Amino acid sequence: MTLLQNKPHPLVWPTVAAALVLSWSSGFVGIRYASENADVMLVLFWRTFLSGLILLPFALLIGQRISGRALAQQMAFGVATMFLYLGGFALAIGQRVPTGLVALISDLVPLAIAALSQPILGHRLSARQWIGTALGVTGVLIVSLDSLSLGKAPVWAYVLTIASMLVFALATVVQKRIRTIDMPIHQSLCIQCLTAAILFAACAEWNGGLTPPLDGRFQFGMAWLVLFSTFFCYGVYYMSLRHYTAAQVSSVVYLSPPVTMLWAWLIFGEPLSRAMFLGLAVTLFGVWLTASRSAASKDEARLSSCEQPAG
């Protein structure tokens, strides 16, 4: 079962959405602390390696027996949703694609998921949902354009940024399609993290080695990334995909830019702007429109999900 069959309490979705956007935008905090004296690929290696290592005994002892097919599927999704998505953005920033532009492109994931959901999942968005999606994009633009610049990176780095966003969107929709999320979250996340860790290890070794800096900021940043930005964030994300449509879940990501700025203000004392509050208001309205579906749309989405073959 991938969508709620019984009508949930009206506060369930807002609570889940709040948890998702807070954890999704929290990676900025951990990365900022951990990468101060370390290469980004080294940070991503230790983030995924420690996450997978902590989950490994639980994945082996608790849950269903993992088939070879399920293992291969989760490894593929680990390559897509962690290594290519996170690593692609990190590499693009390393090639001097402006951080603001990378953030803007990454926050267009919901638009790509909405576009892919209809042909792959059969989840047809209503006119109201498309309006909400457009408002979400508008809110992201309002927040991001203030600090946006095109930069002087090579063309392939810009293409890589867009490709990383599209890979994550496609992987999300395909996971929903073949129902790999029926595997317990701790098992799927363990496989994905360890798969990505192997690839990040090769990148980090190429860039200078796997030895982490032994300073408090790196350790704090790593604890934050593992516990909050990986366990909590990916756990809430995959749990949400079990109960709601991919477009509805991903629409919450539009709130990431303004919430990230709130994190920066709260922890690092960075100033807030009027554009941030305006963008936040527009995005909130857009997310509300996207999440408000008719009963007919719910039935169609539920039917579509139930008819998908199990992975």
Query: In this predicted model, what pLDDT tens digit does every residue of 29-88 receive, in sequence order?
Result: 787 788 778 888 999 999 999 999 999 999 999 888 888 888 888 899 899 888 998 888
Domains of the chain, residue spans:
12-306
Does pLDDT of 309 surpass 70?
Answer: no
Kindly indicate the confidence band of residue 25, based on its pLDDT and cuts at 50, 70 and 90: confident
> What mean pLDDT comes out for the span 13-39?
82
Q: What is the pLDDT at residue 1? A: 42
> What mean pLDDT comes out for the span 116-136?
73
Cα–Cα distance, 194 to 60 (Å, whole number): 13
Q: What is the pLDDT at residue 46? A: 95
Residue type, 50: L
Q: Enter the DSSP assignment of 181.
A: G
Q: What is the pLDDT at residue 195? A: 96
Cα–Cα distance, 300 to 294 (Å, whole number): 10
Is the pLDDT higher at 248 or at 163?
163
Averaged confidence pLDDT in the chain: 78
Nearest-10 Cα torsion for 156, 137, 185, 191: 0
> What mean pLDDT comes out for the span 137-150?
67
pTM for this model (two decimals): 0.76
Kindly indicate the confidence band of residue 304, based on its pLDDT and cuts at 50, 70 and 90: very low
Q: What is the pLDDT at residue 7? A: 58
Residue type, 216: G
> What mean pLDDT comes out for the span 290-304?
46
Q: What is the pLDDT at residue 307? A: 33
> What mean pLDDT comes out for the span 80-109?
78
Q: What is the pLDDT at residue 282? A: 81
> What mean pLDDT comes out for the span 257-279?
77
Comparing CA positions, the residue from 119, 31, 106, 41 lying closest to residue 257 is 106
Kindly indicate the confidence band of residue 310, based on its pLDDT and cuts at 50, 70 and 90: very low
Comparing CA positions, the residue from 180, 231, 262 lying closest to residue 53 is 231
Kindly indicate the confidence band of residue 308, based on its pLDDT and cuts at 50, 70 and 90: very low
